[in-house]
Amino acid sequence: MRTTTLAWLVAGILGGLPLASQAQEASMSTDTDPYLWLEEVEGERALDWVKQRNSESEAVLERAPGFEALRSDLQAILDSDAKIPYVTERGGWYYNFWQDAEHKRGLWRRTTPASYRTQNPEWEVLIDVDALNAAEGEDWVWHGADCLKPDYDRCLIALSHGGSDADVTREFRISTRSWVEDGFQRPAAKGGLTWIDEDRVYVYTDFGDGSMTESGYPRIVKEWTRGTPMSAARTVYEGRTEDMYIAALHDDTTGFERDFVSRTIAFYNDELYLRADDGGLEKIDVPNSAAKGVHKQWLTVEPREDWEVGGTTYRAGSLLAIDFDAFMSGARDFEVLFAPDTRSSLAGTAWTRNHLILNVLEDVKNRLYVLTPAEDGSWARAPLAGAPEIGTVSVDAVDDEESDDYFMTVTDFLHPTALYYGTVGGTAEKLKETPAFFDGEGMAMTQHFATSADGTKVPYFMVAPKGFEADGSNPTLLYGYGGFEISLTPSYSGSVGRGWLSQGGVYVVANIRGGGEYGPRWHQAALKANRNKAYEDFAAVARDLVARKVTSPEHLGIQGGSNGGLLMGNMTVMYPELFGAVVCQVPLLDMKRYNKLLAGASWMAEYGNPDTDDWAFLKQYSPYQNVAKDVDYPPVFFTTSTRDDRVHPGHARKMMARMSEQGHDVTYWENIEGGHGGAADNAQRARMQALAYTFLRQRLFPQD
């Protein structure tokens, strides 16, 4: 990546404490929670409990009629050779990571652009992860590759045990297809290595006692020289223990080589520093809450609150640009490249050699625009020629230094995902398309708006059979997330199609507050004490579905994971009368202790700090504390992963134990591997999905 933003960092900092420390942390707690022992992730007693719960759920779900056929079909979809092999361009080659039935842990491979355009590209395998596991007796899961410009021969390969966020880094040479003896290697921990040049890297990792933040991430970044031990690496920057994550990055854009240090204090609160040749650091003087990007001569800023600077106030959610060197010299005359309104927000950007492509959400539908800078500092704006009018659309540059070419991905709920190749100013050509994994011809996708408790209009998408009878009897699955400014847009899923839609179910995705569908304001409306807004929005969508007679509570199921799992927990506890079944995946549920478990401390900017007066509102949104014996809750299926070192599996375990003790209808399944995604390979993913769909079918569909 040659555009310097904090997005590259945030994608990798949702991890937690090393597994080895979890049992110790739980044992030191003075909490009187009777199920605290279930936080001992790999404790013998806890794992025996997990195995017993798994056995019970498997007896009910895996022996159900149709389960094995569904699981087999879902795995065939996930393993399909006809899926689109998405690629990254490096040095004239297209690189891809691929998993299928034969290669469960995957292949890292490459092909030429010309071959990629053919129906059956000729791939050159670089690393076979399954073969590596067999040779080393390991359970590696691929975490990515960072290859050194300009020849891209030396690569830093990240691998994790069983899918955990903690990983190792090892140096690999493409020309010899071998690991570099005495090359750069980083032991398992949260953090990473990034190239400076052939003989130097930035390393941010666990250096020993005191080197990690309270959230379990690197607190120190160092410059490490080849041929020396990591212990001899020179400190570049040292953050505070209460910070979230410290890292560094070398921008290798030709003619604009720069080095940056990032200090992430909390979500939506970070600092970016320019590192001089002598090691000195100069802060880029924009608000900590703003997203910051540097590309060639440009600094871009996306303020999350209104920002007054240079005598002008810029609206939250805008995209601003200025010459980087001029800004560092004191200039503040930003050009406004995008300004939001009540219906629109900025979904993303992509730089090509001469242009900037804006991806804008207008009522949760993508619109693409091309911006072109002129010598006088102005920017011309035009729609991206050939972009479709419907569907979810994303754009990525093929090579932002060498061309104005781009990849465009187009998808929606009913039409298989397609990959296009285009050049700014021309028409995009379809290169690849996912096969149809289910028959969507008789179905229709529509958008609706529900009215929340405070009058806010909340959009949601619905997929249903054309001309279905609105008699309240349609089995309906409502999905939601509502957090961390993440937008949910229509996308093609063979698993949803096979597991739910083709069975006659209605599928709904809710765009509730807490997400990013309408920019920072939509997210900030449901932060901390206002978390109830997300839950009220979700309940409003459920009620709207019932009012429109799409379904009824006994036929309405809900599903969500991670922050969406917290959503599921609160909908269960706060609105039990609205739902007939709940699938709660890798969830947060104990909001009294969440900040003490794994990465929980890093999310306090989203939820609040339960060790302060914030507990006054947090306790209202903590399902584990609010579940009661004398309430009739809908049946709940909890799923999690032992190897999830992001959201602690203790959340799901303890909620299952408490609700079971109270006599509620609860089912539990925990994957021994998988990390926060719940699965380490396609077989595990298919099994997990089949369990969930079988549970929903048993609870929501009419039974013979």
Strand spans (E) along 550-691: 556-561, 581-585, 636-641, 666-671
Known catalytic membership, residue 676: yes
Q: Which two tokens stand for residue 604?
A: 């306090």
- The helix (H) or strand (E) run that includes residue 616 is helix 615-618
- Identify whether the C-beta of residue 502 lies closer than 8 Å to the C-beta of residue 66: no
User: Could you report the per-residue pLDDT of 330-358, keeping only the tens digit for each?
Assistant: 999 999 999 999 999 999 999 999 999 99
Residues 6+ away with beta carbon under 8 Å from 349:
293, 300, 319, 356, 357, 358, 359
pLDDT, residue 236, reads: 98
pLDDT, residue 600, reads: 87
Q: Active site residue: 562, 602, 622, 641, which one?
A: 562
pLDDT, residue 404, reads: 97
pLDDT, residue 5, reads: 41
Span 127-133, average pLDDT: 98
Span 314-341, average pLDDT: 97
How many other C-beta atoms lie within 10 A of the C-beta of residue 571? 25
For residue 598, the 8-state DSSP code is G
Q: Name the residue among 681, 695, 682, 591 with its Cα closest to residue 639.
A: 695
Say whether pLDDT at 452 is over 90.
Answer: yes
Bridge partners, residue 637, by sequence: 583, 667
pLDDT, residue 164, reads: 85
Say whether pLDDT at 30 is over 50.
Answer: no
pLDDT, residue 63, reads: 95
pLDDT, residue 20, reads: 28
Q: Which two tokens stand for residue 462?
A: 């619905």
Residues 6+ away with beta carbon under 8 Å from 228:
none
Task: Please report, for the chain, how many H helices and E strands are present, in that order.
Answer: 16, 40
Span 650-654, average pLDDT: 97
Instruction: Please give the Cα distance from 696 to 704 (Å, whole number).
Output: 15
Say whether pLDDT at 65 is over 90.
Answer: yes
Instruction: Please give the Cα distance from 448 to 441 (Å, whole number).
Output: 21
Say whether pLDDT at 16 is over 50.
Answer: no
- The helix (H) or strand (E) run that includes residue 192 is strand 192-197
Regarding beta strands 312-314 and 307-309, do their DSSP bridges make them parallel or antiparallel, or are they unpaired? antiparallel
Span 653-666, average pLDDT: 98
Question: Torsion angle, CA of 619/624/691/64, rounded to 10 degrees?
Answer: -130
How many percent of the chain have pLDDT more than 90?
A: 87
Say whether pLDDT at 698 is over 80.
Answer: yes
- The helix (H) or strand (E) run that includes residue 235 is strand 234-238
Q: For the chain, give the mean pLDDT.
A: 92
For the entire predicted model, the pTM comes to 0.86
Q: Which two tokens stand for residue 38?
A: 């279930």
pLDDT, residue 31, reads: 52
Bridge partners, residue 444, by sequence: 464
* Sign of the C-alpha dihedral computed for residues 201, 206, 209 and 213 taken in this order: positive
Q: Name the residue among 696, 223, 699 with its Cα closest to residue 501.
A: 696
Q: Which two tokens stand for residue 354?
A: 């001469």
pLDDT, residue 18, reads: 29
Taking the mean position of all CA atoms in its chain, how far away is CA 162? Answer: 18
pLDDT, residue 217, reads: 94
In terms of Cβ atoms closer than 10 Å to its own Cβ (0-12, 13-18, 19+), residue 570 is: buried
3-state secondary structure of 154: strand
pLDDT, residue 9, reads: 41
Known catalytic membership, residue 57: no
User: Could you report the per-residue pLDDT of 3-13, keeping only the tens digit for each?
Assistant: 334 433 433 43
Q: Active site residue: 161, 250, 415, 676, which one?
A: 676
Instruction: Please give the Cα distance from 374 to 376 (Å, whole number).
Output: 5
Say whether pLDDT at 157 is over 50.
Answer: yes
